[in-house]
């Protein structure tokens, strides 16, 4: 194996400071008429309008427009929420964790990963708010002093989740933005128009590139990365606790928090692959996001998938080991019930299909990797759908076993959040440097030293 120190594949050998910076900044500063961009953004925007319509209908009528019922009081909204926060926390994990391990391949893709987490949080964050019966009182979950003397229930996992989510959103925005500052300064310096220069200048916060600033920057950035790694694990574990702390069969299990973190890594890796493969070809970046990146991510995807498969084994084994009848009904219903398609779907897509990535030719074949990644992303959505709906529709009371049938508005909401994500991503591609230029320069620098030594 080539090993992580071999950076020859991480960037094309003929890339220089100037060529790299030109290529990345020209995407923003000298945009060509890109019909592809407009199509992509158009689709995203149309779906965002659909989301707005769905939320307007929701506000006017109530969450009764969805398919939720008693016993299945949570449906698509919460499945979407976990799925999107999966993507978000996984993205942050990859960005922060692999900064700490100083993996070279991280450099070219972490901006995309962070942007993914930003918009995934936006898409996912809408869900727990709008799924509330009275979402206009969502702020009651926040512990603020008020004349009623009412506080949140600190024992409720939903309150923990609220706190974790707020902390997570705050940190990822800062993490993303801090890493952006030197590049915004580059754009400011290279911009020809005055308005553009002023705008990027404002956001660059007066970055001069002095060694003092670089020193502060590094301390901040690395400290953040360390915090983020812990934060990500904590945040998504808390999402797992939402379920683990409940006594519903299928939820009531301590293994859910790590299960969720592994799920997050898997989903996010698959999602990054879904993003970088088109970006690699849609923009002149193939020399900087190389097959090596695809290969590394595919290996990580395979590793996560093995972890996930282990979780699935535990999930299927424990009810029988524990012997609680309700747990056994629930897992049996997963195997054979109404929603067995979701169970077998997640097994096939998350645990079996990625095994193809053991083979190097598959990992180097972008369409194949793209297809596998797409499968995992869908498989993970099915997993969360099953976790919620499959568990709730088989509770302790067999007299209240009812299935959940999503309505049009449920589907519109899923599609709409995807649209919000896509639209956001295309705006990012247009206005923010897709690759972190300052880090790419470091990479080229290091590559040069290596080349000089050879």
Partner 1 sequence: MNDGPDPPPGGAGHAFWQSLDELAQSPDFLRRLEQRFPDEYARLAELAASIDRRRFLQLTAATLALSGLAACGPAPIAGLVIPYVDQPEDTVPGKVRLFASALTRDGLATGILARQIMARPINIEGNPDHPASLGASDAIMQATVLDLYDPDRSKWVIDNGEVSSADALVTALVNRMPQLGKTQGEGLRVLTRASSSPTLSAQFAALTRLYPRLRRHHWHGGWRDNLREASRRAFGRVVAAVPKLDKADIILAVDSDLLNEAPGHLAHARAFARRRRELASGGRGNRLYAIESTPTVTGANADHRFVVAAAQMEPVLRALAAHIGIGPREWAGGAAPSWLPAVAADLAQHKGRALVHVGPYQSVSLHLLGHAINAGLGAFGQTLEFLEPPELDTSDEISSLSSLVADMHKGEVDTLLILGGNPAFTAPPDLGFDEALKRVKFSLHLATHVNETTRLCRWHLPRAQELERWSDARAFDGTATIVQPQIEPLYGGWSEHELLAVLGGAVRPQGHDIVQATWQGEAKRRGIADFATFWREAVRAGVVPGTRSPAAPVTLSPNIISEISATGQTDPPALSVLFRPDPWLRDGRYANNGWLQELPRPLTKLTWDNAVLVAPALAKERGLANEDVVAVETEAGRVKGPVWVMPGQAADAVTVLVGFGRRVVGRVGAGTGFDGFPLRSSNTLTEAPLRRLAKTDQKWPLATTQVHQHIHDPLHPGDILRFGTVEELRRNPDMFKGQSPQDSLYPAWPYPRYAWAMAINLSSCIGCASCTMACAAENNIPVVGKDQVLRDREMHWIRVDRYYRGDENAPTETLFQPVPCMHCEDAPCEVVCPVEATMHDHDGLNVMVYNRCVGTRFCSNNCPYKVRRFNWINYTKRDPRLDLAWNPDLTVRARGVMEKCTYCIQRIREAEITADREGRRVRDGEVRTACQAACPTEAIVFGDQNDAHSAVRKRKDSPLDYGMLEGLNTKPRTTYEARITNPNPALAEG
Q: Which residues of this chain interact with partner 1, rule CB under 8 A?
A: 61-65, 67-71, 73-74, 131-135, 137-138, 140-141, 150-153, 155-159, 162, 242, 245-248, 325-326, 392, 395-402, 405
* Shortest distance in whole angstroms from residue 248 CB to partner 1: 6
| Cα distance between residue 92 and residue 114, in whole Å | 6
Residues 158 and 141: beta-carbon distance below 8 Å: yes
* Shortest distance in whole angstroms from residue 361 CB to partner 1: 46
* Shortest distance in whole angstroms from residue 240 CB to partner 1: 15
| Cα distance between residue 110 and residue 272, in whole Å | 9
Task: Report the residue number, 142 or 222, with the smaller CB distance to partner 1.
Answer: 142
Question: What radius of gyration, in Å, describes the C-alpha atoms of the chain?
Answer: 23
Sign of the CA dihedral running 119, 104, 94, 275: positive
Which three-class secondary structure state does DSSP give residue 342?
A: helix
Task: Report the residue number, 217 or 396, with the smaller CB distance to partner 1.
Answer: 396
> Based on the number of CB atoms within 10 Å of its own CB, is 285 exposed (0-12), middle (13-18) or buried (19 or more)?
buried
> In the numeric block, which tokens belong to residue 182?
């030197």
| Cα distance between residue 285 and residue 276, in whole Å | 10
For 253, list phi and psi in degrees, rounded to 5. -155, 135
Residues 86 and 236: beta-carbon distance below 8 Å: yes
Number of H helices, E strands in the chain: 16, 0
| Cα distance between residue 355 and residue 291, in whole Å | 19
| Cα distance between residue 234 and residue 245, in whole Å | 15
Task: Report the residue number, 289 or 387, with the smaller CB distance to partner 1.
Answer: 387
Which three-class secondary structure state does DSSP give residue 153?
A: coil
Task: Report the residue number, 244 or 289, with the smaller CB distance to partner 1.
Answer: 244
Taking the CA atoms of residue 117, residue 119, residue 122 and residue 123 in that order, the dihedral angle to the nearest 10 degrees is -100
For 72, list phi and psi in degrees, rounded to 5. -90, 80
Task: Report the residue number, 19 or 69, with the smaller CB distance to partner 1.
Answer: 69
* Shortest distance in whole angstroms from residue 390 CB to partner 1: 13
Residues 96 and 175: beta-carbon distance below 8 Å: yes
* Shortest distance in whole angstroms from residue 325 CB to partner 1: 5
Task: Report the residue number, 73 or 178, with the smaller CB distance to partner 1.
Answer: 73
Task: Report the residue number, 27 or 77, with the smaller CB distance to partner 1.
Answer: 77
> In the numeric block, which tokens belong to residue 150?
């009412």
* Shortest distance in whole angstroms from residue 242 CB to partner 1: 8
Task: Report the residue number, 71 or 125, with the smaller CB distance to partner 1.
Answer: 71
Task: Report the residue number, 186 or 391, with the smaller CB distance to partner 1.
Answer: 391
- Concatenated DSSP letters of 55-115: HHHHHHH-GGGSS--SS----HHHHHHHHHHHHHHHHHHHHHHHHHTT-TTHHHHHHHHHH
* Shortest distance in whole angstroms from residue 253 CB to partner 1: 14
- Concatenated DSSP letters of 195-226: HHHHHHHHHHTT----HHHHHHHHHHHHHHHH
| Cα distance between residue 361 and residue 43, in whole Å | 33
* Shortest distance in whole angstroms from residue 162 CB to partner 1: 7
* Shortest distance in whole angstroms from residue 421 CB to partner 1: 24
* Shortest distance in whole angstroms from residue 105 CB to partner 1: 41
Task: Report the residue number, 69 or 287, with the smaller CB distance to partner 1.
Answer: 69
User: Of 44, 10, 6, 4, nearest to 417 (Cα)?
Assistant: 44
Task: Report the residue number, 44 or 67, with the smaller CB distance to partner 1.
Answer: 67
* Shortest distance in whole angstroms from residue 137 CB to partner 1: 5
Task: Report the residue number, 74 or 105, with the smaller CB distance to partner 1.
Answer: 74
* Shortest distance in whole angstroms from residue 411 CB to partner 1: 16
């Amino acid at each position: 194996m080539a090993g992580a120190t071999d950076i020859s594949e991480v960037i094309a050998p003929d890339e220089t400071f100037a060529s790299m910076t030109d290529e990345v900044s020209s995407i923003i500063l000298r945009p060509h008429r890109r019909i592809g961009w407009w199509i992509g953004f158009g689709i995203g925007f149309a779906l965002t309008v659909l989301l707005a319509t769905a939320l307007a209908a929701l506000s006017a009528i109530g969450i009764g427009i969805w398919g939720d019922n008693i016993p299945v009081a949570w449906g698509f909204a919460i499945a979407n929420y976990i799925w999107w926060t999966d993507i978000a926390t996984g993205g942050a994990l990859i960005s922060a964790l692999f900064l700490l391990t100083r993996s070279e391949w991280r450099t070219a893709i972490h901006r995309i990963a962070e942007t993914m987490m930003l918009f995934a949080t936006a898409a996912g964050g809408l869900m727990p708010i709008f799924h509330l019966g009275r979402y206009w009182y969502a702020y009651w979950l926040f512990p603020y002093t008020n004349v009623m003397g009412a506080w949140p229930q600190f024992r409720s996992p939903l309150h923990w989740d609220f706190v974790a989510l707020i902390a997570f959103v705050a940190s990822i925005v800062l993490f993303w933005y801090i890493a952006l500052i030197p590049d915004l300064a580059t754009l400011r310096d290279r911009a020809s128009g005055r308005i553009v220069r002023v705008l990027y200048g404002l956001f660059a916060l007066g970055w001069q590139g002095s060694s003092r600033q670089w020193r502060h920057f590094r301390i901040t950035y690395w400290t953040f990365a360390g915090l983020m790694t812990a934060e990500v694990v904590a945040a998504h574990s808390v999402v797992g606790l939402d379920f683990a702390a409940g006594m519903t069969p299928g939820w009531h299990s301590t293994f859910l928090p790590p299960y969720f973190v592994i799920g997050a890594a898997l989903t996010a890796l698959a999602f990054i692959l879904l993003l970088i493969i088109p970006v690699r070809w849609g923009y002149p970046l193939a020399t900087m996001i190389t097959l090596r990146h695809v290969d590394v991510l595919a290996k990580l995807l395979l590793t996560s998938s093995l972890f996930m498969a282990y979780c699935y084994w535990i999930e299927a084994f424990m009810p029988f080991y524990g012997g609680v009848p309700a747990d056994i009904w629930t897992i049996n219903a997963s195997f054979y019930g109404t929603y067995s398609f979701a169970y077998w779907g997640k097994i096939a897509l998350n645990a079996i299909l990625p095994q193809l990535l053991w083979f190097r030719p598959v990992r180097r074949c972008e369409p194949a990797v793209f297809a596998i990644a797409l499968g995992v992303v869908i498989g993970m959505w099915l997993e969360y759908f099953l976790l919620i709906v499959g568990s709730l529709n088989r509770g302790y009371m067999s007299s209240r076993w009812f299935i959940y049938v999503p309505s049009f508005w449920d589907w519109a909401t899923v599609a709409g959040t995807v649209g919000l994500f896509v639209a956001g991503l295309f705006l990012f591609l247009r206005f923010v440097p897709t690759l972190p230029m300052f880090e790419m320069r470091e990479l080229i620098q290091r590559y040069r030293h290596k080349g000089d030594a050879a």
